[in-house]
Amino acid sequence: MNSVWARLTQEQCRQLHNASLEILERTGVRLFNDEALALVREAGAKVTDGNRVRFPARLVDQALSTAPKSVTLHDRMGRPVMPLEGANTFFGPGSDCLNIIDHRTGERRRPVLQDVVEATRVCDALKEMSFVMSMFLPADVPQDIADRYQFQAMLHNTIKPIVFVTYETAGCVDAIAMAEAVAGGADALRERPFVACYINVTTGLLHNADALEKLLFLAGAGLPALYIPVVSGGTTGPVTMAGGLALSNAGVLVGLVISQLKREGAPVVIPGFGGDALDLRTMVDPYCGPDPRGMAQALAHFYQLPMFSLGGASESKLVDQQASIEAALDMLINALCGGHIMHDCGYLESGLTGSLTQLAICNEVVSWIRHACQPVEISAETLALDVIDQVGPDGQFLKLPHTRRHMRERWYPILFDRDNYNGWLAKGGGRTLAERAAEQVSQILASHQCEPLGPAVAEAVRRIVLRAEAQLGREPLAPASGGSYA
């Protein structure tokens, strides 16, 4: 796509920005980190009541002037593959689902490490999944350091960029140490980053110690940080979409200021979602309600900053019609908005459950969307006026060289069915889309392996995980406890 659909006008974005500035100057936020407090105090912010900080607008203006307008994620081989800028949108899964619907059995169960391995391998194989997240929280490893096992599994099973989550700062430090071992050192990773850390912040007004520690660590290292304050309308923020987004954006601007005070030019990725609210009938946090769609993306484009969007999820408990419809609509909106990093493909049950079958369906939908949104070539070759004149009213175009040259430019589905009824029955016995997608997942797992880590690199990564285990006083786990990493 060459341009984006903007739900908000430039004037509306300016109103939201000014509202966020007023929140920062009038209400202020709490920072639960001494280094962050020292940085903002020295820069001229007003600190009262221990850690309540009010920011002058000039600090935000300065941060916006130095934060990079574009961030490029690389793959494990050092190739630039995800330029986060303009109308670009890249799709991938989410992290840490508490349940999985097993594609082999249809059973909803607790995930194990092998599920993280398999999700990573499937993402690595699916063409339209541009990056990887762990997708599942494995129940068969020590929960204190489950993030290390997840990250190790992802490193072994994909060459695609990795967006990772850690449960405390030490996990983030360990993940970066593993990534540096793979990249060939800190400088190499900073120059060609293939990882980015997703940081959840308590609310727009409360910046927890762990989130600030991670932000400061990543900014100091010059590595991408996804700084995402969480505001839920009606509980931790106003129920109105504008009020909720203004509040979450105030928190975003806090992270931006602190990162730039720590290291001018540190890469920060801001949310492409916000203004959400609980379903106050059920108290479920909906992942794909229509109301706030496109608002945060428009604000991120207003700032010309890279963004981390949310889409491809469903509130459905099953891989069914609702799951496909909600995921498809959400992904289409994100593509039209130019949502940059678009995560949560394959999510069901409002983020509590993941499905590799649903992930494969999302991959097919993204392929459709990319063809629907790609620019159209109007030229002498594509208008084909000479060909039309050659064939005339009485001929047909099937055997022409022009047809053979261009026929593969059209979109041909892999999972979506286009056979006639008898062909549909003959090829698969009348299988559903979910059944075909589950078979695709099984075929990928039976045949696909990514480029392995070298033995020395794999051992360096393993030593970092062993160190975390030793700090817990635990016996080392063999990879087979949750499946082979290779």
Q: Tens digits of per-residue pLDDT, 363-410?
A: 999 999 999 999 999 999 999 999 999 999 999 999 999 999 999 999
The two beta strands, 89-93 and 340-345, are parallel
Domain of 400 in residue numbering reads as: 380-409
Give the predicted TM-score (pTM) of the model.
Answer: 0.94
Taking residues 250-258, report their average pLDDT. Answer: 98
The residues with which 198 forms a beta bridge, in sequence order, are: 226
Q: pLDDT for 103-119, tens place per residue?
A: 999 999 999 999 999 99
Domain membership of residue 486 (yes or no) is no
pLDDT band at 484 (very low <50, low <70, confident <90, very high): low
CB contact at 8 A, 394 and 155: no
In a domain, 394, yes or no: yes
Identify the pLDDT of residue 481: 38
3-state secondary structure at position 228: strand
* pLDDT number for residue 478: 57
Q: What are the E-state strand segments in 253-294?
A: 268-271
Within a domain: 149 = no
The 10 Å CB-count burial string (b at 16+, else e) for 48-76 is eeebebbbeeebbebbbeebbeebbbbbb
Predicted confidence (pLDDT) at residue 486 exceeds the cutoff of 90: no
In a domain, residue 449? The reply is no
User: Region 320-335: what's the mean pLDDT?
Assistant: 96
Confidence label for 482 from pLDDT (cuts 50, 70 and 90): very low
At 483 the pLDDT is 42
* Closest by Cα among 311, 277, 280 to 292: 277
- Give the whole-angstrom CA distance, residue 292 versus residue 19: 17
Contact 316, 287 (CB under 8 A): no
Neighbouring C-beta atoms of residue 374, cutoff 10 Å: 12
For residue 362, what are its two tokens? 């999302």
- Taking residues 13-35, report their average pLDDT: 98
Nearest alpha-carbon partner for 249 in 305, 165, 332: 305
Question: Is the pLDDT confidence value at 182 over 90?
Answer: yes
Nearest to 218 by CA among 181, 285, 171: 171
CB 237 within 8 A of CB 57: no
Long-range contacts of 180-188 (CB under 8 A, 24+ apart): 181/457, 181/460, 181/461, 181/464, 182/76, 182/155, 182/453, 182/457, 182/461, 183/78, 186/221, 188/78
Is the CB of residue 43 less than 8 Å from the CB of residue 261? yes
Percent of the chain clearing pLDDT 70 (strictly above): 97
Q: Is residue 265 part of a domain?
A: no
Residue appearing with tokens 């987004």: 245
Taking alpha carbons only, the member of 141, 189, 137 closest to residue 164 is 137
Q: Please indicate, yes or no, if residue 316 is contained in any of the structural domains.
A: no
Q: Which two tokens stand for residue 336?
A: 């039209």
Asked if 299 and 245 touch (Cβ cutoff 8 Å), the reply is yes
Stretch 342-371: mean pLDDT = 97
* Reported confidence tier of residue 186, pLDDT bands at 50, 70, 90: very high
What average pLDDT does range 77-101 have in this prediction? 97
User: What is the model's pLDDT at position 276?
Assistant: 87
- Tell me whether residue 398 is in a domain: yes
User: Looking at residue 245, what is its pLDDT?
Assistant: 96
Domain count, the chain: 1
Specify the residue for token string 């109308």: 87
Q: How far apart are CA 161 and CA 343, in angstroms?
A: 13
CA distances from 21 to 42, 251, 254, 262, 295 (A): 19, 10, 10, 21, 18
Cα 247 from Cα 242, distance rounded (Å): 9
Cα 353 to Cα 347: distance, rounded to the nearest angstrom? 6
For 142-159, write each residue's pLDDT tens digit.
999 999 999 999 999 999
Looking at residue 1, its pLDDT comes to 61
Asked, for residue 384, whether it belongs to a domain, the answer is yes
Q: What is the mean pLDDT of the chain?
A: 95
